[in-house]
Amino acid sequence: MSPVTQGRTVPLARREAILEAAVEEFAAVGFAAATTAAIARRAGISQPYVFRFFPSKKDLALAVIDRAFGRVLADWEAAVPQPGETRLQTLGRTYVEGLRDRRSDLMVHLQAYAGTHDPDIAEALRHHMARVYRYVVHLLRRDGHPTPEWEAAAFYGRGLLITAAMAVGLESELRPEEWAGICTRQGCALRPETDREPDPAA
């Protein structure tokens, strides 16, 4: 690696390390309670160094939201359909697998919704939700679906339910057939080991 290339790579790696630390901190305590000092400790750097890459905590929070939603679309772009899958089944499977492997991203999504009293976070969410919705509509329209907007809205709504269900471990409260109505993917649950069986009479 040339000195010039190395000089560019090191700052990018440090910015990524800050983003990773911020994801964990925002996921754990939310956007309002998180501090740049705590994020710096997670990243193993000094607090002033955070501000070399992000002028404010708000800028860092918006970058984390951009990253979380961007990963969803990147995963979808790279998704390879399994035999017999429909387009939406491929997207749904890929989304669930991504959340299962990146629990902190899941919590960032939910913390962002909770933080929409901040107009900048609300604006960022509007932008990214519209991107995701339009992406699904585009694919469905390209595939010749007669009602792409309606199908995309239903798909998005189900995704939000799965996101919340996986975050709280809803599968521990439901019978297997009930849970299958929400998420049919094996391994969809983030908490497969539960302390008790669901009450059959519930």
* Listed residue (18, 85, 104, 78) closest to 54, CA to CA: 18
Within 8 A by CB and 6+ apart from 73, the residues are: 131, 132, 135
pLDDT of residue 99: 81
Q: Examine residue 139 and state whether it is found in any structural domain, yes or no.
A: yes
Tokens representing 29? 């305590």
Amino acid present at 181? G
Q: Examine residue 62 and state whether it is found in any structural domain, yes or no.
A: yes
Q: Examine residue 177 and state whether it is found in any structural domain, yes or no.
A: yes
Q: Examine residue 154 and state whether it is found in any structural domain, yes or no.
A: yes
User: pLDDT under 70 in the chain at which residues?
Assistant: 1-10, 184-202
**pTM (predicted TM-score):** 0.82
pLDDT of residue 9: 62
Q: What is the tally of structural domains in the chain?
A: 1
The CATH number of the domain holding residue 128 is 1.10.357.10
| Secondary structure (H, E, C), 16-70 | HHHHHHHHHHHHHHCCCCCCHHHHHHHHCCCHHHHHHHCCCHHHHHHHHHHHHHH
Q: Examine residue 69 and state whether it is found in any structural domain, yes or no.
A: yes
Residue 192 in 3-state DSSP? coil
φ, ψ (nearest 5 deg) of residue 110: -70, -40
Q: Examine residue 106 and state whether it is found in any structural domain, yes or no.
A: yes
* Listed residue (42, 95, 38, 35) closest to 61, CA to CA: 35
pLDDT of residue 54: 96
Within 8 A by CB and 6+ apart from 58, the residues are: 118, 120
Q: Examine residue 12 and state whether it is found in any structural domain, yes or no.
A: no
The rounded distance, in Å, linking the Cα atoms of 63 and 102 is 17
Domain hosting residue 80, numbered range: 56-182
- Assess contact for 62 and 124: CB atoms under 8 A: yes
Q: Examine residue 75 and state whether it is found in any structural domain, yes or no.
A: yes
pLDDT of residue 179: 85
pLDDT of residue 2: 53
pLDDT tens per residue, range 62-96: 999 999 999 999 999 999 999 999 999 999 999 98
